[in-house]
Amino acid sequence: MRVRHAGVASAVLLALGLGVVPAAAQTPTRLTYFTGPTGGSWIPIGGALKVLWEKAIPGLSIENRPGAGLVNMKAIEEGKAEIGMGNMTSTVDALAGKGTGIDKPYTNVCHFASLYPNVAQFVVRSDLGINSIADLKGKAVGTLPKGNTTNDVAGWVMDAAGVGFAGASKMAFASLSDLANMFKDGQIAGSFIVTTEGNGSIKDMANSRKIAMLDIPDDIFAKLKAQNVGFQRHTIAKAVYPGLEKDNITVAFAAHVIVSCKLPDDLVYKMAKAMTDALPDLANVNASFKGQTVKDIGAKVDAKWHPGAAKFFKEQGVH
C-alpha cells in the first residue's frame, strides 16, 4: 500500500534537542486518488475532495490521477491507489469475484461514501429515425473504452436489445469529450454514457445537433436487473438538455467513493467528517450534491464498509 509516512527526520531533530516538531509535520501521509475519464464528472469532484481533505487533515497530501470505474477498483485492490471513484454495481460484483478481468473476490476495496445516481444516457441524432436501441443496428455508436463501467453497461444494454457491439456498423471507444466531438462531426449516430444528469459533454452534443435520448424499456430493464441488482429506474426531465422533446426513461445506479481497506481507521473517520462538513460547497462543484445530507452520503449499501467511515456515520445516527 502506498500510504507513506515521513517521521524519521522529526525524530532525529527531537533526539538532537533541536525543538519539537508539530505533530502534523511529523507524519505526513501521501495518498493516490484515481478519479475518472476526461470530460466526466469524477475529475472535478475528485479535485474538490482532494482540496477539502488536505485542508481539513494536517499532513495529508493526495495525488489525483485520471481513472475509470473498473480501473480504480483494480488499482486499490493491487495497492496502486488508496482512494478511487466507483460504481456500486461494479463494486458489488468485484467483492463477489465477478466482473471483467476478475477471477477472485476483491478483499482490499471498501465503501467510503455514496455520491449520487450515475445515470445511463443514450444520446442519438434526432434526424436519423433512431427511435429505439434496436434501431442502432447498422449505425455508428460511441461509448467509453474498456475498463470503464460505462463500457460494460453499454454492452449489456445493446446485447439485451439484440444489437450488441457487433451489430453496429462501427463502435468508437473514446473519452466523453472526444465522443462529443465525434457526434458533432457526424462520425457517430449515437453515444452511450453513464454519468450525472446535465453532463457538459452531452450538452455540447445537444447544442451542436438536435438530439433525442433513447428510453430503456421494461424488458431490457428486467435483463439489467437480473445482471446486477444495483440498477434502478430513473427519469431525466426533458428540460435537462437543450432540444429534448420528452422525458427520458432510463436506469441509474449509485456512484460512490471507495478506499483501501488498509487505510487507518482514524484517517478515514476524519475524511468522512470533512466530506460531510463540506457538502454545501460540493454542490457548487456538481449540482447532484444540492440538498444532500449526511443521511444521503452515509446511506446503507450492499458493500463492505471501511470501519473508519462506518464509525463516523454510525455516530451521526445514519446506520
Backbone phi, psi, residue 112, to 5°: -110, -55
- In sequence order, what are the beta bridge partners of 228? none
**pLDDT tens-digit readout, 121-165:** 999 999 999 999 999 999 999 999 998 889 999 999 999 999 999
**pLDDT tens-digit readout, 204-220:** 999 999 999 999 999 99
pLDDT value at residue 28: 72
pLDDT-derived band at 27 (thresholds 50, 70, 90) equals low
pLDDT value at residue 20: 37
End-of-domain residue from the set 211, 236, 253: 253
Predicted structure pTM score: 0.76
Q: How many domains does the chain have?
A: 2
88 part of a folded domain: yes
Give the range among 5-14, 84-93, 132-141, 215-224 with minimum mean pLDDT: 5-14
**pLDDT tens-digit readout, 234-265:** 999 999 999 999 999 999 998 999 999 999 99
SS3 annotation, 74-95: HHHHCCCCCEEEEEHHHHHHHH
Q: Which domain holds residue 134?
A: 118-253
- In sequence order, what are the beta bridge partners of 109? 260
End-of-domain residue from the set 253, 271, 289: 253
Q: CA nearest 86: which of 272, 306, 257?
A: 257
pLDDT-derived band at 189 (thresholds 50, 70, 90) equals very high
Q: Write the DSSP string, 34-50.
A: E---TTSSHHHHHHHHH
Burial class of residue 89 (count of CB atoms within 10 Å of its CB; 0-12, 13-18, 19+): buried
194 part of a folded domain: yes
Strand stretches in 102-236, DSSP E: 109-125, 140-143, 170-173, 190-195, 211-213, 232-236
CATH of residue 284: 3.40.190.10
- Tell me which amino acid residue 9 is: A
End-of-domain residue from the set 231, 253, 275: 253
A 10 A CB-CB count for 225 gives 14
Burial class of residue 150 (count of CB atoms within 10 Å of its CB; 0-12, 13-18, 19+): buried
